[in-house]
Amino acid sequence: MFFIGIFGIEQKSKIIATRQDPCPICGGYGQYDVIKSYNYFHIFFLPLWRWNIRYYIETGCCKRLCSLDNNIGGRIEKGEAVEIHQSDLHCSENSFQSTCPRCSSQLDPDFLFCPYCGNRTNK
């Protein structure tokens, strides 16, 4: 009997919560997503092991993507009502994003032209 195994390592990101609270970064009222990202090993597309689990928040008001403390992210994933404070976040200075006015793609703030549609950005 001959057995062909399909296996591999992949990375996955998924939104685990969407909140409409004051932004923990800028204080503005808006919507932000809590995102879980991890690597996993699969056989026949069934995930067996997960590692490198990280949590992020992506804000709609100030267009920031910041890493979230894993303990807080795990509690949010379990369904607990946890308030996120600025001390729970780790934001880099380059986490500002801009949006293309034509196709609404997320862009690096240094881009003069959108790599998806070629439109000039608002710089």
Q: Any residues with CB less than 8 A from the CB of 111 and at least 6 apart, and which?
A: 98, 121, 123
Q: Count how many Cα atoms sit within 13 Å of the Cα of residue 60 in the half-sphere of its side chain.
A: 12
Token digits of residue 2: 């001959």
Q: Where are the domains of the chain?
A: 7-91, 96-123
Structure confidence at residue 42 (pLDDT): 85
Structure confidence at residue 96 (pLDDT): 54
The arithmetic mean of pLDDT across residues 7-13, rounded, is: 86
Whether the per-residue pLDDT at 3 is higher than 50: the answer is no
The arithmetic mean of pLDDT across residues 39-63, rounded, is: 88
